């Protein structure tokens, strides 16, 4: 109520705090590749694994495009690997 009165939150909206699992998984994903986490720890509960993998992927459209780019530097699509014949 106080936050709404101060204009910090839109009327009818409330903030939901992040769960501890998401916070921890995000911090792990920011620092270590998932393969290293798997090698380091023998038993990781599946829900924890899923959240680490989730947070391991890029969030912004720019990062997604950068990591998913298959540009080989070839100017002509016909000369690129898998290009038109």
Between CA 46 and CA 68 the distance in angstroms is 26
| Residue 63 domain-assigned (yes or no) | yes
Residue-number span of the structural domain to which 24 is assigned: 20-67
Tens digits of residue pLDDT in 2-51: 554 455 656 666 678 889 999 999 999 999 988 899 899 889 999 999 99
- Radius of gyration of the chain, Cα coordinates, nearest whole angstrom: 21
| Residue 39 domain-assigned (yes or no) | yes
| Residue 34 domain-assigned (yes or no) | yes
The total number of structural domains in the chain stands at 1
Tens digits of residue pLDDT in 44-65: 999 999 999 999 888 788 877 8
pTM surpassing 0.75?
Answer: no
């Amino acid at each position: 109520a106080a936050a709404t009165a101060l204009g910090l939150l839109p009327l009818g909206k409330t903030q939901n705090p992040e769960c501890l699992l998401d916070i921890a998984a995000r911090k792990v994903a920011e620092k270590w590749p998932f393969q290293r986490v798997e090698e380091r720890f023998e038993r990781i509960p599946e829900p924890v694994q899923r959240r680490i993998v989730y947070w391991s992927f890029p969030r912004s459209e720019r990062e997604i495009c950068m990591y998913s780019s298959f540009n080989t530097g070839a100017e002509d699509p016909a000369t690129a690997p898998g290009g038109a014949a």
